[in-house]
Amino acid sequence: MSDASTFPKPRFLSVVIGLIGLGLARMGLTLVGAGGSLYYLLAGLTLLVTAVLLFRGDRRGAQLYGIFLILTYLWSFYEVGLDAWALMPRVAMFTVLGLWFVLPRVRRGLHQSEPIPLFQLRETQATLGGFAVFIIALFIANGGYEVGTPSAAGTGQVFNDSGDWMHYGATKRGTRFAPSDQINVDNVDQLEIAWQTRTRVPGEFKGTPIQVGDGLYLCTGRNIILSLDPDTGEERWRFDPELQSARIGFWDTCRGVTYYRSPPQRPSLECPERILTATTDARLIAVNKANGQPCADFGENGEISLLTGMGEVKPGYYFVTSPPTISNGVLVLGGWVMDNQETEEPSGVVRGFNPITGDLVWAWDMGRQERLGLPPEGESYTRGTPNVWSLTSTDEELGLVYVPTGNATPDYFGGHRSEAMERYASSVVALDSATGRPRWHFQTTHHDIWDYDVPSQPTLADIPINGEIRKAVIVPTKRAQIFVLDRETGEPLTEVAELPVPQTDIPEESTVPTQPFSVGMPRFDHEMLREADMWGITPFDQASCRIQFARMRYEGPLTPPTTGYGTLYYPGVAGGMNWGSVAVDERNHLMVVNSLHNPSVVRLIPRTDITESTTYGIGGTQTGTPYAVFSFFFLSPVFAPCLRPPYGELAVVDLANQEILWRRPLGTTTDMGPLGIPSRLPLPMGMFYSAGSIVTGGGLIFNAGVTDSQVRAIDVFNGEEVWNAQLPAASTATPMSYVSPETGKQYVLVTVPDGGGILSLESQVDDSVDEPEVEGGYIFAYALPD
């Protein structure tokens, strides 16, 4: 029999545990100093003692580690209950490390003078194995969610019986509802690619196509318009406006195009039917639907400048990315101004144009509302006013256009703002389509210093409320609050309460005592974040996130920006909800909601502290105010999210009773991981997404914007994923669906960028550099087999 004393002491294990303990103790001390949890300091000290005992070959080291592991589990359950994703950074690494103690070599090294009882070895193995099985079982159990029963299924009116997708949001109501049920829950598993094509345009591809009769029309990046055959994808024509945009910001973003047919009383012989696009170099262009040639009767050779009346516009400071809306013969258009740069940025004026001639019909200048037309020579529209960068919708019977506004520039300081800058900021405004004058407005955030502009297209739906069908406008927000208003009067149809919010500590700033909360609708954010909600891949980056959280100012929703370590800003700059808006199943009164959980860090930088090395993240200089701003996503040192999962969710709300029918995480971690390295692990964590979803008469939701690069079909009634297909990349546009007038076949269309959105530095600064021939973005059309 061999002498047990010949087995070496587990010194490598002791060194590993010692280093872990040292790191946790140091971070734990910092966390305690910031007012955070004691656990990490105590855990670090315990592991240091464990390491010393193990180095000496003292079996009490293993016993202490076992006690530590049990107490860690108990503490974790106390903090986050049985949430498997939240438990992972707390217990996974320590459980795996605990398996090391089961190795016979380590066991014998700790039993120097006596053999290891077989039952004790098996008992330890069983205990650690039990922990592992328990965690796996939790992940399985956490995959479930509650499903309710629709209260008004089949009772709604469909406003798009033709099945055409003639506007960005299917109709001018912006419901993203395709009524056809040819593709449905029973046959969607047979869906296949009917055709696909490439755009031959590099970079961004955020465009959702429209379908008008026997043609598809869409814009790629750089505002290039394509016309395609809806049954084959064959290109019929293309129009390249040859952009002169400064290659910064969203210079090559185009979300869609607009169709217009001239009425008999105002015929256009040049272009009876036209496709219009507004560009990132501030032009409005009309081309013939039949051949893509500029409409000679529109402006000058088919285009007008949107810079007229704007005054000085620095390169990249004013551009348009969203398609205009045509309401009762008036083309209504807003624009986007550069974020966070200065106080005197270009105006957020909204304008109405004649879609045949390009003539200005009216202008809504928030600072000069009495003036309908252009400013006098030498003047400009009021600078620095809130802009309308996102998508608009219209009720032509009421003669109203619904425009979602941003906040006045810059985003995170408002001490300089005038009444004109404040009154309509971060609101939905109902403009008279004939005159451009506001009939009503509803402000979703007062004195907005959080960049909580209203990003979503207002969605129009007729819904039963208290036994009566009401004409509603649904307003999703970055705050993850959804307001439901009477679209004729602006009166809230579901309860809105003004609730107290934290106040500013910046001397030059002011805040309001209360803010509006949509308490009559489900909320899609966490009501209040805690230190226990912080996350990470390991205990180290979780501790780092806890330290950041403890140092920052956070007192709940709408905590104002501050200096020092800054403010935790949740929901973050991307929402909540964003420009993908919601989708509404008109037949069943069901609303599809995509929501994000992605906090931001916002830190004001006093002007006196700015140096050449100052970084702003995605913030900016805020010239003209006492503070610049740093803004970025709330991430750990390995670029993992600091908030526990899920990060992206999909839900359905029953609009008839304002209750959630179901809610679930959407997407896996396949293309995400620490340090930006894809994990290739399809963990159903619920991931980040862009754009939005559509819903169809076949009871299906389609979404292709999650970072795991899949297009999915989901049962609208229960949330079950019933079909998916892999894409070459995640889509950055909302899908669409149409029925071909030639074949009667229903298609689901998805656009995907080529990944070439970030050009080389050389080509960004030198337009003379020739770009290589590219295949560009993808367009996939899915249909049932013949």
Cα gap 144→132, rounded to integer Å = 20
CA separation for the pair 399, 392 (Å, rounded): 14
Contact, 782 vs 747, CB < 8 A? yes
Q: Residues 6 or more apart from 252 whose CB is under 8 A from it? A: 203, 204, 221, 222, 243, 245, 280, 757
pLDDT in tens, 594-603: 999 999 999 9
pLDDT in tens, 49-69: 999 999 988 889 888 999 999
Q: Which residues on neighbouring strands pair with residue 483, listed in sequence order?
A: 475
Predicted pLDDT of residue 127: 56
pLDDT at 58: 87
Of 659, 563, 548, 540, the C-alpha closest to 599 is 548
Q: Tell me, what's the pLDDT at 137? A: 58
| Per-residue pLDDT tens over the stretch 136-186 | 655 555 667 899 999 999 999 999 888 899 999 999 999 999 999 999 999
Contact 216, 204 (CB under 8 A): no
- DSSP-based three-state secondary structure for 750: strand
Does the CA dihedral 73-79-82-86 come out positive or negative? negative
Q: What does the DSSP assignment read for 334-401?
A: --EE-TTSBSSPPP--EEEE-TTT--EEEEE-TT-TT--SPPPTT--SPTT-----S--EEETTTTEE
Structure tokens at 276: 């219009």
CA distance 89 to 644: 10
Say how far apart CA 643 and CA 648 lie, in whole Å: 12
Answer whether 694's CB lies under 8 Å from 583's CB: yes
Q: What is the DSSP string of 301-347?
A: TTEEES-TT-----TTSEE--S--EEETTEEEE--EE-TTSBSSPPP
Give how far Cα 11 sits from Cα of 17, 50, 219, Å: 10, 11, 64
Catalytic residues: 451
Per-residue pLDDT, 765: 33
> Residue 4: its pLDDT value, please?
45
Q: Which residues of the chain have pLDDT under 50?
A: 1-4, 113, 116, 118-119, 121, 756-769
Report whether the peptide linkage leading into residue 646 is cis, meaning its omega lies within 30 degrees of zero: yes
Residue 654 CB burial class (10 angstroms; 0-12, 13-18, ≥19): buried
- pTM, full prediction: 0.94
Residue type, 704: A
All residues at 6 or more sequence positions from 143 whose CB lies less than 8 Å from its CB, including other chains? 684
Q: Which residue has 């006492």 as its token pair?
A: 626
